[in-house]
Structure 1
Amino acid sequence: MKLKIALAATALSLVMAPALAGTMMHHGNPMVGGAAMYPTKNIIENAVNSKDHTTLVAAVKAAGLVETLSGPGPFTVFAPTNAAFDRLPAGTVGTLLKPENKGTLTAVLTYHVVAGRITSGQLIKLINAGRGKAVITTVSGAKLTAKKMGKNIVLVDAKGGVATVTTANVMQSNGVIHVINRVLLP
């Protein structure tokens, strides 16, 4: 009887090991857009696998920023979802993706990137130190204001638009991604 139980337990562990290993690999780093985000991969290598960020990836390619965001960084990227892009006025994304609008597209995308790796914990410390807000400079040179609303971190853009961080601290080999629900506009 003991031998049968031991054999059954061994068989069960052999069946379950791959599933548990997959779970453990993702532990500490969230899934985004149905895909595992690996801290050993760079921003681009992870972003291309997210079903929620296909518009952002297309925009990054159109702006010629793939090489930059694949580089050593580190970068903090506030990554709008496809739904965030869908909230823009009709035709905006298509217009931005045209080659003649590459400069405008680049300005919008680099407004979502901050030099350095800033985790949500560090952002909260900056907000607290700033008595409720932190003004951060993006790589475009423009400013974003970070605040807390309840338990959420929000970003206020130059036009007064507000984006909420929906998934924080998606660690990358060259920085960190925070998923947001709106496109920020300089």
Structure 2
Amino acid sequence: MDVRLDIFSSGRFPGWEKGLKLGVGLLLGASLSACGDPDWQGTDWTKNYQDSFETQISSRASFMPGNTDKAYQPSADGVPNSPVAYHSPPMLSYEDRPLDENITGSLELADYVKAIRVAKLDPWISGPGPYTLFAIPNAAMERLNTRWHGGLLAPENRGQLVHILGYTIAYGKWDEAALRKAIARNHGHAIGLKTLYGDLLGVQVSPRTGELVLENTAGETNRLWGKSFAQSNGVLYFTQDTLLPTPVPVSAGRKHGHR
């Protein structure tokens, strides 16, 4: 259990403005405008995708984490006769491919990928970026989904879904080295990353474990699952749970008894 990090005290996120990419305001304005239209009509995404011919080719790849091996069950007679009788395939993240392609290749992120598509945020992470994506694994997505009546992907919860998933997309290319360097420049204090709809996502080094920890403005934390993965248009992380922007819009259909 991570200790609460007091990173939102006086002088909230000192120095984080210097690390923001130029043009964030324009991009943020465009994203908020798009979010206001349920179907994002009038937004031309045709020029937002990466041009494969302009992407530097690389053969470097890394294994992405996952819990799918837990579903492996050898058949009683040794003959593969069902899907669970096979080991899960390796899930590779390729450095010369964009975020949307690599997360699609991860079984561990199947629920997150579906949610990203329902929220129509996939054009952002398929574009030139750079973006840093804090992807939510299946188990955490399933827990989150139960907190909204009808499920978070239900049409009536579209606003909450877009807001929550937008909080997992930060502007800039922030691998572990870049994050730790920025925190060190900030005298060991947390830095704030600007996310898709303007919410600040805090990043701090846990004084107990030395790990990088995410935190929102309510002091709630979320740990990362392993290392980062270089992408052609940014950086990919797997988180261990969900972290909501605060205040989170409350759905009128939200289940009673859940917070």
TM range (shorter): 0.7 to 0.9
Matched, 1:163 2:196: no
Q: Cα distance 1:136–1:68, how it changes in 2: closer, same or farther (>3 A)? A: closer
Matched, 1:68 2:121: no
Q: Secondary structure at the match of 1:77?
A: strand
Report matched runs for 1:87-166 at 5 Å.
Answer: 87-88=143-144, 90-92=146-148, 95-130=151-186, 131-149=188-206, 150-166=209-225
Unaligned runs of 5+ in 2: 1-58, 67-89, 246-259
Q: Cα distance 1:93–1:121, how it changes in 2: closer, same or farther (>3 A)? A: farther
Q: Report the counterpart of residue 100 of structure 2 in structure 1.
A: 44
Q: Report the counterpart of residue 176 of structure 1 in structure 2.
A: 235
Identity %: 32
Runs of 4 or more, structure 1, over 6 Å off, are: none
Q: Which moved more, 1:134-143 or 1:90-99?
A: 90-99
Aligned mates of 1:137, 1:50 — CA distance in 2? 26
Aligned AA for 1:143? L
Aligned mates of 1:93, 1:79 — CA distance in 2? 23
Aligned AA for 2:64? M
Report matched runs for 1:5-16 at 5 Å.
Answer: none
Q: Cα distance 1:94–1:158, how it changes in 2: closer, same or farther (>3 A)? A: farther
- Alignment TM-score, normalising by the size of structure 1: 0.78
Aligned mates of 1:154, 1:133 — CA distance in 2? 9
**Aligned-residue CA RMSD (Å):** 2.0
Larger Rg: 1
Unaligned runs of 5+ in 1: 1-24
Q: Which moved more, 1:33-42 or 1:105-114?
A: 33-42
Deviations 1:95-123, CA, capped at 9 Å, x for gaps: 22012222211111111111111111110
Q: Report the counterpart of residue 244 of structure 2 in structure 1.
A: 185
Shift in Å at residue 168 of structure 1?
2.5
Q: Which is strand-richer, 1 or 2? A: 1
Q: Cα distance 1:155–1:120, how it changes in 2: closer, same or farther (>3 A)? A: same
Q: Secondary structure at the match of 2:235?
A: strand
Q: Which is helix-richer, 1 or 2? A: 1
Aligned mates of 1:127, 1:135 — CA distance in 2? 10
Q: Cα distance 1:125–1:94, how it changes in 2: closer, same or farther (>3 A)? A: farther
Aligned mates of 1:160, 1:46 — CA distance in 2? 31
